[in-house]
Amino acid sequence: MTHSNNNTTARKGKHLSYSERSQIAILKNENYSNRGIAKALGRVPQTINSEIHRGTITQLKRQKQNGKLYDYYSTNYDPNAGQAAYDRLQLNCGRRPKWADSDAFIEWADDKLLREKWSPDVVVGFAKTHDLFDSSIIPCTTTLYGWIDKGIMRTKNIDLLEKLSRKPKDTSYRGRTNKRILGQSIEQRPPEIDNRQTFGHWEIDTVVGNKVKTDSVLLTLVERQTRFEIILKLRGKDKESVDQAIQQLRLKAGDTFSKVFKTITSDNGSEFVGLHEALKETLEVYFSHPYASWERGTSENQNKFIRRFIPKGKAISHFSETQCLRIQQWMNDYPRKILGYKTPLDCFANALRLLPQMV
């Protein structure tokens, strides 16, 4: 015979609250059966049975009568004991967090993030690509960022300069006319350069310190395909200093200059006025549109790496050429996700080996 008068509505997935545990204690003291309590609370009887079993405690009562002490033991359901038992079980509930078994990875990652200034994505990608740890303990990039947010690692968000400096992409640009024509427009640049299909195409830019005319500046050149960086310290941000640095670079490269440098893309800064004239017999020079820094995105991204060591407003003249070379070496030894976590130096060396008469 089936039960047709059972109006108990079980709430699936809802754990008992402390208020319900208090009600269980009250109903128990009023001699309600477990099934009656379940019906009153709208719960499954087995839920009430398990809760009472976990929350039942033995109490000692001592009574003095006629000069003698008598001990009485009684068992009662206590809501506080039931809640405490529930809290203990919750501590062991769920999957063991991944970071609990990743001490070796976390120590290595903190070292790369703090000492070598790697990004979380490079840390994860490099570890996976080179099989440095068991794959089960290496988190994804999003998870590693989460560990940093939760304070699991020594690395803090303030140590991730790229994360703090990220801004929403500005889509308001509608194009501006070039008032200063220094040479060929970037619109005339061949598609294979835009697609990074061939080697030897560079972007040039300057990095300013504290914007004082007497302060030094950095002249940067980055190869678009390999992201290989060249940093040259100049006396100032002027045409003469740039022209002199380019001439010295040509002399240092010798006969290989024309093989390694095929094109250069620049902005319309006054320091690059003589760039086309100085290099027109050797290579093609293209100039981007004004206020369109994304047309030289490689150079802009590279400059962010430099800012990790030389923040805006800090005089570049305080940094020696040796320090600038160290920054250049760090950038060229830094694994890149876009290069399959290889370094720009390795990719640049491989590209050189593929050039004719460069072996």
Same domain, 135 and 49: no
Identify the CA nearest to 223 among candidates 295, 280, 296.
Answer: 296
Last residue within a domain, chosen from 45, 62, 91? 91
Same domain, 43 and 86: yes
Question: Looking at the predicted structure, is the pLDDT value of residue 358 above 50?
Answer: yes
Same domain, 306 and 265: yes
Query: Is residue 172 in a domain?
Result: no
Query: Is residue 276 in a domain?
Result: yes
Same domain, 155 and 225: no
Q: Chain-wide mean pLDDT for the chain?
A: 86
Distance CA 117, CA 160 (A): 8
Count structural domains, the chain: 3
Question: Looking at the predicted structure, is the pLDDT value of residue 178 above 60?
Answer: no
With a pLDDT cut of 90, the percent of the chain lying above it is 47
Mean pLDDT of 257-267: 91
pLDDT of amino acid 316: 93
pLDDT, tens digit, 9 for 90 and up, residues 119-154: 899 999 999 998 899 888 899 999 999 989 888 889
Query: Is residue 5 in a domain?
Result: no
State how beta strands 263-266 and 284-287 pair.
Answer: parallel
Question: Residue 11: in which H helix or E strand, if any?
Answer: none
Residue 67: CB atoms within 10 A of its CB come to 5
Same domain, 138 and 287: no
pLDDT, tens digit, 9 for 90 and up, residues 330-344: 999 999 999 999 999
Same domain, 25 and 126: no
Query: Is residue 10 in a domain?
Result: no
CATH number at residue 65: 1.10.10
Residue 51: partners with Cβ closer than 8 Å, 6 or more residues away: 16, 21, 24, 82
Contact 184, 285 (CB under 8 A): yes
Same domain, 127 and 217: no
Contact 322, 106 (CB under 8 A): no
Same domain, 199 and 277: yes
Last residue within a domain, chosen from 38, 73, 91? 91
Same domain, 58 and 104: no
Residues 222-258: b if buried by 16+ CB within 10 A, e if exposed: bbbbbbbbbbbbbebbebebbbebbeeeeeeeeeeee
Contact 28, 49 (CB under 8 A): no
Query: Is residue 281 in a domain?
Result: yes
- Read off the pLDDT band of 166 (50, 70, 90): low
Phi, psi for residue 140 in degrees, rounded to 5? -80, 170
- 44-53, 165-174, 208-217, 292-301: the lowest-pLDDT one: 165-174
CATH number at residue 211: 3.30.420.10
Query: Is residue 222 in a domain?
Result: yes
Query: Is residue 4 in a domain?
Result: no
Last residue within a domain, chosen from 70, 91, 112? 91
Q: How far is CA 340 from the centre of its chain?
A: 17
Query: Is residue 263 in a domain?
Result: yes
Same domain, 155 and 267: no
Distance CA 318, CA 305 (A): 18
Question: Looking at the predicted structure, is the pLDDT value of residue 177 above 60?
Answer: no
**Residue range(s) defining the domain that contains residue 137:** 98-165
Give the dihedral sign, CA 116/120/121/127. positive
Same domain, 191 and 266: yes
Same domain, 121 and 48: no
Mean pLDDT of 164-175: 57
pLDDT of amino acid 228: 97
pTM over 0.75: no
